[in-house]
Every structure is written in C-alpha cells, then in structure tokens.
Amino acid sequence: MRTLQIDFAPRGVKRMLYSARPLTAAMALAGLLLCVCGLLTMAWLGQPATDGGAAETPMVVAKPLPTDGPKVAAQKVSVSAEQAEAINATIRRLNLPWSALLDAMEKATPASVALISLEPDAKRNVVKGVAETRTPEQMASYIGRLKQQPFFGHVVLTHHEAASDEVRPNAKGGEPIKPLRFEFEVQWREAAP
C-alpha cells in the first residue's frame, strides 16, 4: 500500500530539511559535492596555461581583474566591396518579409487562379510569380486584385501564353480546358523602420 500524505506541520524549508531521510540527505549532499567539483573543474580549466607551473598559478588567480582600466579597442576588420555586397545580399534574403508577403498573396488570390511559383528578388524588393487561369478576364482581374493590396506597390504582367501543351479534360464534360499561363512581377513596400 502507498503511504498517506497527511501532515499538519506547517510547511517550510526547515521542515523539509529536517524531515529528509538519511538516504535522501546523503544523495543531496553527494549532488552538492558534485556541483562544487564541477565548478572547481570549470574554474581550473578556464585559467590560462602557464609555463611557471604551480608557483605562478596562485598569482594569476589572486590578481583582481581590472574594472576601470584602459579598455581594449575592438579589432577592426576590413571588408572588401564584394564581400560587403555578398553579406548585404545575405542579410536582405534573411530579412525577407515572408509572412506579410504570403498574407498579401493569399488575400489577392481567388480560387480560379492557380499560383504555381513565387521567386523573391530581395535586391529589388520584387517577387516574380507564375500562375494559371482559365480565361484572360480572370488573369486581368487577378492582376487588379494584386494592385489593391496595400503591401504591394507596382504590379506588372510580364508574360502570358495559352499552355497548348497542357490540355486538360473538362470535369463537366464540355470542351477540354487550355489553361492560360502568365508571369508577373510584384514589388513590395518596405516596412517603416
């Protein structure tokens, strides 16, 4: 049978310490000793190696660290123009506003438009997209909807064609569907700093 957890003694740290069983107390003491050993080992490993051996070690440990002494100047690193450009390009890619971009895209895209790909160009703040619709009217309407999104600036239709090589059967039994494939470029607005 398991024990009954009924005790009217007021709870507190002293009570917890005093009511610990010998085995529990021994394990806690062992844990404490391990922690102390670990700290001492870390402190020992963190000391700089000296050739002088044991005679020099206490001097290094006992010497207080300068708190208000001369500050060490940060090492200057020179970066070439190419390197700076590469770094900035990487930063721009990392800073792409994916969440806002996808939100705006989702709001503008109706069910009649199949969005095939999106390729952002962080340098120009432009995303290139490829999509398909059934009719030119749906395509024009989609471009209009993109322009209405406050996150987007310029929207340009760069290319469109009837994808004659991909004739798909009509589910309603009519004539086969020839999708209209088009490409566009959307420039997004920089967020206010």
Partner 1 sequence: MSNVLRIGLSRRAVTVVRTSGWLRTRTELIADHHFPAHADPLDQLTTELGGVLADPRCAGARLRIVLADEWMRSWLVTPPQNVLRLEDCVVAAQARFQALFGEAVAEWQMQADWDCVHPFLVCAVQQRLLQGLQDVARLHKQVLVEVAPQFVVAWNRWSAQLGADAWFGVMHEGALTIGALAPHGLRALREIQLSEPAIRDQRQLQLLLKREAVRLNVAAPTAIRLCGEIPLHWVMQTIDGLAFSRLDRERPAPNLPRSAGLSLALTGLR
Positions that interact with partner 1 (CB under 8 A): 1-10, 14-15, 18-19, 22
Distance CA 34, CA 44 (A): 15
Of the two residues 18 and 44, which places its CB atom closer to partner 1 in the complex?
Answer: 18
Cα-Cα-Cα-Cα torsion 174, 175, 176, 182, nearest 10 degrees, comes to: -110
Name the residue nearer to partner 1 (CB basis): 9 or 171: 9
Least distance from partner 1 to the Cβ atom of residue 30, Å: 17
User: Are 142 and 131 spatial neighbours (Cβ–Cβ below 8 Å)?
Assistant: yes
CA distance 181 to 98: 24
Give the nearest distance from C-beta 5 to partner 1 in angstroms: 5
CB-wise, 3 or 99, nearer to partner 1?
A: 3
At its nearest, how many Å lie between partner 1 and the CB of residue 121? 54
The C-alpha angle with vertex 140 and arms to 107 and 188, in degrees rounded to 5, equals 45
Task: Report the residue number, 2 or 63, with the smaller CB distance to partner 1.
Answer: 2
Nearest-10 crossing angle of helices 136-148, 98-108: 140
Taking the complex as a whole, the smallest distance from the CB of residue 33 to partner 1 amounts, in Å, to 19
Cβ distance to partner 1 smaller for residue 9 or 72 = 9
CB of 104 to partner 1, least distance (A): 43
Tokens for 148? Answer: 């209405």
Question: 184: closest CA among 81, 113, 107, 84?
Answer: 113
